[in-house]
Structure 1
Amino acid sequence: MSKARLIFGMMLIISLMAVGCSQNQDVVNESDSNKEEVAGVIELDMWIHQSGEDETNYNLERIAAFNEAHDSEIHINVEVVMDDGGSSYNDSLNAALVAGNLPDVLALDGPFVASYAEANIIAPVTEFISDEDRADFVDSIIEQGTFNGELYSLGAMESSVVLYYNKEIFEAEGIEAPTTIEEAWTWDEFMAVAKQLTTDDRYGLNLFMDYGVGEWYTYMGAPFVWSNGGSLISEDGTTVDGYLNGPESVEALEFVKSLFEEGVVSLTPSETQFESGKAAMALGGPWIALSAENAGLDYGMMPYPYSEVPKSPSGSMAYAVSSQADHPEAAYKVMQWMTNEESTIGLSRVTGMPPARKSAFENMESYNELPKKVMRDQVVNTAHARPTTPAYPVLTDAFAQALHAAALGEDPQEVLDQQVQRVERELRRFNK
């Protein structure tokens, strides 16, 4: 998950609710392809989202390589669809759905798989994936892509949130950083160190609250609930009452609230608070490693702190087959190619994001040594996918609003009880 995806996630809330009734026909880069089979070659349309230049160019190179390797069988007509970090990409999908010209293969943000599946934008691919191939993906990728027992998506890259730390500050304070999941700090230990590291001109911790009330708060904050034995929604996905507002969730947000009450974290951090040494630790995504390196900071990584059992964030962009694909098996071959070992290794090197396959981790030396080994261990062992429910757009907003309210000092129980009511209304749309 990149910073742009965090913003896109929340904008998806409104647009997905309008799927099936939108009359917007302004599809960006709309293809004129009729997906016809010409001279025995299956023509497929594919949409990828506009991302960073290096990532986009790499994906285009992989698609060109697919066409070369399958020149007598399948040909992909690829389009890079506008993604402004808002709702533009999803607006294009909505318009294509209404017009009946969805691409055969498309990129989507992993946590919203259930919403796309419920809206009949994507189709299951369970029948096409082999047991061997399925087993090579880290568990969180399969969990993220599964809805109602069917596999809908596969990701080429994963993500995680680790606890970054300033090595110079830690050495000066005589603090030893844990480097394995077994040594990860408990909440009490985490709080004690954060308080020790907080001074008049430095915060002990940065939670990147400047990203705004959105998907980042759920992505970063939900593991506090999960590691405390809680859940955002029932296992069968029918209710959030007693889960989103359950005692484990309330206790988790009470802990988040205490971080702000103790003054160890700021509601309004500067953009480079951690990189400039104004925060000793930072609970951040893979992109923080890049910004820290660019700033010349000597940093390390620690596992995500926990309450009862270690849990860590996960989820990023994935690929799926359209419900309107005339050749779903051929479309799956494209999806498989874009998520195979070679693709995942190359994408990881280009983006800095952890790969989605176990075999890729084994063949990337940087993930077998510190500091990236911490990220690998989390992706393989403690990663927890966000809930796969068609009500996720409303659920994630509800949790994000509650976490923000806790940071502002409001009572978590009262706020969560209020948010439960709106999510329950949304769930009633699907519990029929």
Structure 2
Amino acid sequence: MKALLIGKNLFMLMLVVSLLGGCAASNSNTSEDAGKKNGKETIEFVYWAAAGGEEKGFNDLVSKFESENPDIKVKKSQVPPPNQGDYYTKIQTRMGGDDAPDVFRVQYQKIGEFSSQGALMDLTDVVGKDKENYNPSLLTAVTYKNKIYGLPHHTDTLAVFYNKTFLDKLNIKAPDNLKDAWTWDQLLDVAKKIEDKKLAPNGIAANISASSAYRTLPFFFENGASLLTKDLKKANVNTPEATETLAFLQKMYKNYMSKGNSMKGADDPNMLFTSGNAGLFITGNWMIPLFEKDMKDEWGVTYMPVKDSAASDLGGNGLAVPANSKHSKAAKKFIAFMGEKENMKTFVEEGLFLPSRTDVKGPFEYQIKDPKMMNLFIEQSQTVPVDLAKTVTIPEFSKVNQALGDSFEALYTQNASPEKTAKELEEKINSILK
């Protein structure tokens, strides 16, 4: 993940000027009236959406919102996702130039950057009244200094997909409940058997790249390690537990993964798995439609491996309102609507996500062959440690994640020792957090 924020001081200056301008507009009775046409107030919603269910989910809910709120029009501005462009840079430029959208989609890993700079509207009065009904890790992700700055809209998480044919030939049954999840050693043993029997050239593939290096963090927490200290002020990587985790991941890469499946490698891990060139695949529930299309019934899924405990990745996205939105009341009404139980259930069903509210219950009508399969991901999402959520939502996390990706690339492709990697990564992170 590249650090996408423009210079902090410049952004703060632009934002302050914008907020002062917004106050002046409010005093002249123009702020909430601006954008009204034919008696309707228009709010702009900026978001990205994968074609298919996710896009349909947004379209259906916007139509429903407008039907229930005939005095509000939602202008949908769909743009490329963050990993395909300069999504956040454009959002920040608009906010600094007094042209902020009213609601925008935001990754949990980015909310801390915005909220720490005073760039987001406090949504505690909207989300806080139902806070006991949200997954604690996701609520933590949108909270800064005890105030809530985003709606935890949905989540997704990692698991281990497998080639059914390969495991059948090895007479291996994948675990079907969390308490029986493979251990680290068992995962590597399955990968070794796949390669030894020449079923595939690679035992494992992983959907973890430099921009998503944070997807390695579940392995740290499974082993009693962490990236940061409890107070989030210093690195905590140069420890026996973290070093052991680095050694395990290095072993997994060197012995059982394609050399092009490194943090900055050119291999497409999705293709490795769907083409039969990898027997196991660490990735998320969002890949299910591709597997159904390209592999038919030749795949299955099981839980993330465990060591001392279970853990998984903090995935998904939230919705936020810029502090200088000109239509804050209508924007908050839209946020509240998107967070309602029935509407959240609709979105996660259509987009193939997991609900962030724990009181959104099934049965879910997911548009896949076996909708019950998603229960595994719902259960796995409950294993995301709160401290992991706190780590990936600190204001400096973009830079921390970049350092993490660089360190793993050296660990994988330059044969750096786990001990040296732990020491150097700790120094890099401490330099960032100063």
TM-score band by shorter chain is 0.7 to 0.9
Change (3 A) 1:43 1:248: farther
Letter in 2 for 1:195: K
- Report the RMSD for the aligned CA atoms in angstroms: 2.9
Match of 1:379 in 2: 381
Unaligned runs of 5+ in 1: 1-9, 25-32
Match of 2:104 in 1: 106
The DSSP-based 3-state class of the residue aligned with 1:122 is: coil
Change (3 A) 1:322 1:244: same
Match of 1:27 in 2: none
Report if the CA contact (8 A) 1:301-1:372 is conserved. Answer: no
TM-score, normalised with respect to structure 1: 0.84
Match of 1:332 in 2: 332
Match of 1:239 in 2: 234
TM-score, normalised with respect to structure 2: 0.83
The DSSP-based 3-state class of the residue aligned with 1:113 is: helix
Please tell me whether residue 390 in structure 1 is matched to residue 389 in structure 2.
no
Change (3 A) 1:174 1:148: same
Report if the CA contact (8 A) 1:67-1:76 is conserved. Answer: yes
Match of 1:174 in 2: 171
Please tell me whether residue 402 in structure 1 is matched to residue 407 in structure 2.
yes
Instruction: Report the CA distance between 1:142 and its aligned residue.
Output: 0.8
Report if the CA contact (8 A) 2:142-2:149 is conserved. Answer: yes
Change (3 A) 1:414 1:50: same
Match of 2:249 in 1: 256
Separation in 2 of the partners of 1:244 and 1:40? 58
The DSSP-based 3-state class of the residue aligned with 1:214 is: helix
Separation in 2 of the partners of 1:426 and 1:44? 41
Change (3 A) 1:57 1:351: closer
Separation in 2 of the partners of 1:124 and 1:309? 35
Instruction: Report the CA distance between 1:326 and its aligned residue.
Output: 5.1
Report if the CA contact (8 A) 1:111-1:316 is conserved. Answer: no
Separation in 2 of the partners of 1:361 and 1:148? 30
Instruction: Report the CA distance between 1:41 and its aligned residue.
Output: 6.9
Match of 1:307 in 2: 307
Q: 2:148 aligns with which of 148, 151, 160?
A: 151
My pick for the range that moved more, 373-382 or 358-367, is 358-367
Separation in 2 of the partners of 1:350 and 1:84? 21
Separation in 2 of the partners of 1:245 and 1:369? 42
Match of 2:259 in 1: 267
Q: Deviations over 1:147-192 (max 9, x none)?
A: 2222111232211110111122111111121111111111122222
Change (3 A) 1:168 1:21: same
Letter in 2 for 1:314: L
Q: Deviations over 1:92-119 (max 9, x none)?
A: 2121122123222221111111011123
Instruction: Report the CA distance between 1:329 and its aligned residue.
Output: 4.8
Unaligned runs of 5+ in 2: 15-29, 262-266
Instruction: Report the CA distance between 1:48 and its aligned residue.
Output: 2.1
Instruction: Report the CA distance between 1:328 and its aligned residue.
Output: 4.0
Separation in 2 of the partners of 1:297 and 1:406? 36
Separation in 2 of the partners of 1:287 and 1:82? 17
Report if the CA contact (8 A) 2:127-2:151 is conserved. Answer: no
Separation in 2 of the partners of 1:379 and 1:247? 27
Letter in 1 for 2:283: G
Separation in 2 of the partners of 1:96 and 1:122? 13
The DSSP-based 3-state class of the residue aligned with 2:126 is: coil
Instruction: Report the CA distance between 1:334 and its aligned residue.
Output: 1.1
Report if the CA contact (8 A) 1:156-1:347 is conserved. Answer: no
Separation in 2 of the partners of 1:81 and 1:389? 25
Separation in 2 of the partners of 1:352 and 1:39? 36
Report if the CA contact (8 A) 2:181-2:306 is conserved. Answer: yes
Instruction: Report the CA distance between 1:379 and its aligned residue.
Output: 1.3
Separation in 1 of the partners of 2:39 and 2:316? 32
Change (3 A) 1:390 1:41: farther
My pick for the range that moved more, 134-143 or 281-290, is 134-143
Report if the CA contact (8 A) 1:106-1:319 is conserved. Answer: yes
Change (3 A) 1:124 1:247: farther
Separation in 1 of the partners of 2:76 and 2:345? 21
Instruction: Report the CA distance between 1:363 and its aligned residue.
Output: 3.4
Separation in 1 of the partners of 2:330 and 2:155? 25
Q: Deviations over 1:228-254 (max 9, x none)?
A: 1111112222111xx133322221111
Instruction: Report the CA distance between 1:327 and its aligned residue.
Output: 5.5
Change (3 A) 1:130 1:90: closer
Match of 2:127 in 1: 129
Separation in 1 of the partners of 2:82 and 2:253? 32
Report if the CA contact (8 A) 1:206-1:279 is conserved. Answer: yes
The DSSP-based 3-state class of the residue aligned with 2:210 is: coil
Report if the CA contact (8 A) 2:102-2:328 is conserved. Answer: yes
Please tell me whether residue 413 in structure 1 is matched to residue 413 in structure 2.
no
Letter in 1 for 2:168: E
- Tell me the number of residue pairs that the alignment of Structure 1 and Structure 2 aligns: 401
